[in-house]
Chain A
C-alpha cells in the first residue's frame, strides 16, 4: 500500500511500510541518526532523529515512526534544530573529547554531527563521569567513556552475527556496554561491532595508534582467506597496510567480514616476508641473489631436466589462493614451456572427490546457486561441515535465513555455532549421514511428498524407492542415534519448503564413501524438485580462496582451462593455436602422485608456488623424502616456510594486496581485486614470475605487461570467461556463464551473469536417480577405531594465517577435541596428553573435552605446528587418501 505525506512542504508517495527517515531520504532530506541502522531492529534510543509531526504534540523519532496518509512532517524547523543541539550537548557532557588520539577521529558520527548540528559552546561545567575500562579482548578495544549507548554493537552481534557476546549492564548514566559480567570477550571476532560503532568506543587493537583515518588510501580488494569472495578495503599509508575496512553495500558480503578478513591483513607487512630471491649455493646454503640470477637458474635447470628426462619429470603444484591470472600462467608455463601436465593444487584432492559427481549427475562444475540466495531459503540441510567456520560469510547468510524463520537442519559429527540457532542439530558420527539422507528419501516417497511433476521423466525412481526400503526408520534412527521424529520432520520440512537447498563440506565429501553421500544428496534434490531455481540447489563448500579459479583455469593433470579434457585432441589444438606451442597429450600426475614420484626419484623437478606440503599434505614422511630426493626444488613463497627452506631456489611472491587480478568465488563470481601497495621488498606478483620464466624458456607468448593482458587471453581461451575484462568486473563482478552483451552493457546496472545453474532443469540425459546402496559410508576399522576429523578454525584457514599475529592471539595451538564419554572410555582425562596414531604416523597432543562431539569422533585443527595434520593424513591415489577424515587410535601416555 502506498501513502501520501508531506515532508518539509514537499509531497511524496511512499510504501506504507516505510518510516519517516526512509521517506525523507527519498526526498533527499538528511535527518541525522546515531542508533538507527537499516539492517538492525529499531531502537529509537538516541533521539537525534526527532521531527515534528502535525497533530502530535511531542517530537517524534523519524527512525521509528511509520509514515501515514496525510501526515505533515517538519524535519528542520527551529524546535527540531534546538532539540538536536540539545541531544548533542547531552551526548558531549560525558564524552571525553579525545579526538586527538581517537582511532575513529575523521570517521566519527558524533564528531561530524557536533560540527554540523551542534553548538560551539558547552554549558556543562561539572566534572565528566569517568568509567574505568578493562581490556576486553586481545583484538577488540572498548572505551566506555566514548560510548554513546546506541546499542548498534549489541544489536549487530545479536541480530546479524547471532553471537550475543555483548550486552548492556547497569542503568542510567552508569550504563556500560560489554561482554557478560564484563569478562573478556568470547566471540567470533567478526568485527561487526567495530564496524557498527558510530564513534571510537569499539575499535580494533591491531590498528591502535597506527595511522589517522584520513591519511590512509583505500584499495578495493578480495579477501585472500576463503572462497566466499568478500570485498574489503585495504587501508594503506607509506606502503604498509594498516587496517581493513568494510565496504558497505559492496560485494558478495555487502560489507560484512569475518575475523580472518578483518584482522588477518598483518600477514602482508609481516617482518618475516621473504624480500629477495635466493639460490642454494655450492655449500648448500640459501643465499640472496638478483632476480636475474634466480630466474636464470630456474630456467636453465628446468630446460636441462626437460631435455634430459622429458617434461613428465617436471611437476608443479600451485596454491589455490592465487589469482586466475597467476593460475592460468602457471599451467601455461608448465604445459607450453615445460611440456608437462603434472599440474595440480592442494584442493585438487577435493575437486577430484566432488567434481566428477557434480559433472556426472548434473553436468555442472561448481555450486549450482549463489550464496546470497541462502539468505531466503525456507529449509536448508547442512551436511558434514561447519559453514560458519569454513565460510563465515556464507554462514552469515544461513544465520540470516534462520533469523527469518528458515528451517535449518545440521547433520554433522560436531555441534557448531549454528546448532544453538538452527531448528535442529543432529550430531551424527561420520559415515552415518547417508542413512539419514536415505531415511529422509524414504519418508518423502512414503508420504508422497516428492515433486511428481519434476520426477515424471526421471529414470530409476523405483530403484530409488527400493534402495531406501530395506531398512526400517526405527533401525535408521537407532543406528544414527537420531529420533524417528527428527528424520520425518526434516524430510517433511525439506520437501514442503518453497525454497530449499543443501550445503555439504569436507567432512561429508572427503571420506571413503563421500561420493555415495553426495549422490544421495543429489537424489534428494531431484526427488523434491529443488534444482534450477532461486533458493534451491547444492553448495559444496571448500575453504580455499580461489578453489573455483583452479578448476576453471585448468589446474589439474587432466583438464585444460575451461574444464576441457587434456585427452581431447581438438581442445589441445585450440590451446596450441592460441599459445603457439605444443600441449602434452598425456594426463599428468596429481599432487600426491607427484610427491610419491619425487620420493621414488622419478620426478626430477618440482615447482611449488605458494604451497607448503610439509605442513598440509598427507604423509609427512613421504613428503619430506620427496623434497629431499627431488633433484630441483623451486619454491615461490611469501615466507620461508619449512618447505621453502628445503628449496634450491626461493622466489619471493606477493600477497593479494600487492597485485591486480581476478578471483572466482565459490559461487562462480569472477571478481576484480586491486593492488593496494607496491610489492614488499623485491618480491613480485606470481603471474609476473611465471611470465618471466616463460619468456626465458623461449616462449614469447608468455610475455605480458600486466595482469590485464593475461585476463584478455583468458577471455579468449576460456569460453565461459569470454569477453571478461577488469573494466566490466568493476562494479559487482560476474557469475559465469554470462552474456557478453549484457556484461558489456549492463555491468554497471547490476547485471551479475548467471545467478543459478540448471535454469532449464537437469539435462535430459541426466534425469536418473542413482539409488545409492549401502547405509554407512565410513565403516569400522578395528585397528584404528576412532574417526579424526580435521577442520579449519574460525580464526585460521590453512597455514597462511599462521603468520597473522593478530589471529594467533585468538588461537595458535591444536588440541584434540573429544566427547567426555569418549575420553572416559579411553581413560584419557581432559587436558592430558595423548598419542594420536594413524596408519601414516602419529602426533602427541593435549586432549580437550567437548560435549559438542559425537561419540567416537575426534576433532583437530589442521595446520598448527604442535600437531601437524600431515603426520596423520594418509596418502593414497584417490578415495583411499584420508585427508579430512582420518582413522586413528588414541594411546594414553
Chain B
C-alpha cells in the first residue's frame, strides 16, 4: 500500500509538476474552500493519526490544543531533524516528495490558525534543505504558499532552518530553543509547545512523516485512514530497516507488521543467511528484541507491551556475528556524545556507563559491574530531565537482561587473562 511513498518513483519526483500529477495540492484547496478549521481537525482526529516522531501522540489532539489557544501568532514546525540512529525515512520524503510535507504544513496552519511554518532540518541534510527551498519557491509561485493562498484569504509561509548537528535538537522543545537562536536544550514541560512554543507562542511540532500523511487524510477522509493498519495505530508507517539484512532500506507498510515479516518478506531476510540474533525496533534508544520476539507487531502499543518501543520506526537488525556488548558500547557512546549536558544523571551517568563498558571490553570488568550498570541506568531513567537520558539506557538494560552471558564472556576474559598471567609467571 503506497500512501507516503506514492510519488517517489516518478521522474523528477521533487518537482511541483510531478506532485501535481497525482492529486497534489488538491487537499489544500479543499480544506481552505470546503472545510472549516474545526472540520479539518476533526478529520485528522477521525483518522487517529499518531505522531511519527517517536512518541506517537495523536496528531488531531495536538492540533486541537493549539487551535484552542487564542494567542497569535501561532507556528507550525516540521521536525526534520531525523537524528535517531538508524532512521532515514524522513529523508526519503524530504528529497522525493517535499510538496507532500509543505501541503501538510499549510493544512495544519489553516487548521490551528498559524501563518508561519518552519522546517527544522538536520545539518547533515544539505541536499534536503536545498530541495525543500526549491519546493517552497515553486509552491509560492503557484500560490500554494505565501499570501492569500489560492485567493482564500489564508496566508502561510515556510522557512527552512538547518540544524547544527545535535541529536537533542530533534526533541521538540530543544528544537524550539535552537530555532530561537539559543543553546539546544530541552525546556521544562508543561507548558507544552502547543501553548508555549516558539517565542512562547502556540506551536505545533510534527514529524515529517506525520505531516506528509495529512493531505491523503483530507483527500480520502479520516475513516479511510483509520481503516488501515491496526485499530490503535492506524495508517501506514515508514520503517527504516538497517543492519544485517539483505535489502536495507525504507519500507512503507501498514502499521502492525511483525518483525519477522519485515525482515524476511520485505527486507530480503538475513545477510548471508546467518541467524537472527537481535533487533532494536525503534532506533538506538529502544530496548532490543531477541529471537523469541520475532513475531511482535511493530506498532506503538504492541512494542510497548513487549517492553520496547516503536520510536521512529528504525529497525536495526543484528545477526549472530554481533557482539552485543560492543553494539551497546557503540550506542552508549552516541548518547554520551549527544547528551546535552543540562541534567546531572544523563550528563554524568552516561559518562560513567561508557567508562564501565570500556573497562568490561578491556577485560577489566567484574560481575558486580553489571549490577552497578543497572543501578546507574535506573538512576538515569528515573531522574533525567528529558527523553534523551530516559531512553538512552534502554539498550544497556535490555542487553544485560537478554544477553547477560555475552557480558559474562567479556568479564570471564579477565579471569582467563589473569590465569594466563599466573601461568606464565
Contacts and interface: CB of A to CB of B under 8 A. Distances in A.
A90 B385 CA distance: 14
A722 interface: no
Contacts of B30: none
A173 to B, nearest CB: 4
Interface stretch (A2-10, A39-47, A372-380, A856-864): A39-47
B393 to A, nearest CB: 13
Contacts of A173: 336, 339, 341, 347-348, 350-351
A64 interface: yes
Contacts of A94: 348, 351
A87 B345 contact: yes
Contacts of A167: 183
Contacts of A91: 344, 348
Interface in B182-236: 183, 188
A844 B347 CA distance: 56
A662 B104 CA distance: 71
A148 B351 CA distance: 14
A834 B340 CA distance: 52
The residue among B347, B350, B355, B379 with the most chain A CB atoms within 10 A of its own CB is B347
A170 B184 CA distance: 11
Majority-rule SS of A interface residues: loop
B341 A149 contact: yes
Contacts of B384: 47
Contacts, number: 97
The residue among A44, A64, A86, A90 with the most chain B CB atoms within 10 A of its own CB is A90
A128 to B, nearest CB: 10
The residue among A123, A172, A174, A175 with the most chain B CB atoms within 10 A of its own CB is A172
Interface in B149-183: 166, 183
B358 to A, nearest CB: 8
A172 B336 contact: yes
Contacts of A454: none
Contacts of B6: none
B345 A126 contact: no
Contact of A45 (B342, B351, B352, B390): B342
Given A93-B351, A94-B351, A129-B351, A47 B338 contact: no
Given A124-B352, A175-B341, A59 B382 contact: yes
Given A47-B345, A90-B349, A171 B385 contact: no
B383 A47 contact: yes
A149 B340 CA distance: 11
Q: How large is the interface on B (under 10, 10 to 19, 20 to 34, 35 or more residues)?
A: 20 to 34
The residue among B337, B343, B359 with the most chain A CB atoms within 10 A of its own CB is B343
A82 B372 CA distance: 13
Nearest to A82: B379
A83 B351 CA distance: 18
A50 B345 CA distance: 12
Contacts of A44: 188, 343, 385
A873 interface: no
Contacts of A42: 188
B166 A171 contact: yes
B347 A172 contact: yes
A526 B183 CA distance: 47
Nearest to A174: B341
A25 interface: no
Interface string A91-125: 10110000000000000000000000000000110
A64 B386 CA distance: 13
A126 B359 CA distance: 9
A171 B340 contact: yes
B183 A46 contact: no
Contacts of A124: 352, 355
A168 interface: yes
B422 to A, nearest CB: 23
A175 B344 contact: no
A149 B390 CA distance: 19
Given A47-B343, A64-B188, A171-B337, A90 B355 contact: no
B341 A170 contact: yes
Nearest to B184: A171
A149 to B, nearest CB: 6
The residue among A59, A83, A167, A173 with the most chain B CB atoms within 10 A of its own CB is A173
A46 B339 CA distance: 14
B388 to A, nearest CB: 10
A91 B385 CA distance: 15
A58 interface: yes
A197 interface: no
B379 A168 contact: no
Contacts of A175: 341, 347
B383 A149 contact: no
A168 B349 CA distance: 19
B383 A168 contact: no
A268 interface: no
A45 B382 contact: no
A48 interface: yes
B250 to A, nearest CB: 29
In order of increasing CB-CB distance, the 7 nearest A-B pairs are A175-B341, A90-B348, A86-B379, A172-B339, A173-B351, A126-B355, A47-B383
17 contacts: A43-B342, A44-B385, A45-B344, A47-B343, A47-B345, A86-B376, A93-B348, A94-B348, A126-B358, A129-B351, A149-B341, A149-B347, A168-B341, A171-B340, A172-B347, A172-B350, A173-B351
Interface of A: 42-48, 50, 58-59, 64, 79, 82-83, 86-87, 90-91, 93-94, 123-124, 126, 129, 148-149, 167-168, 170-175
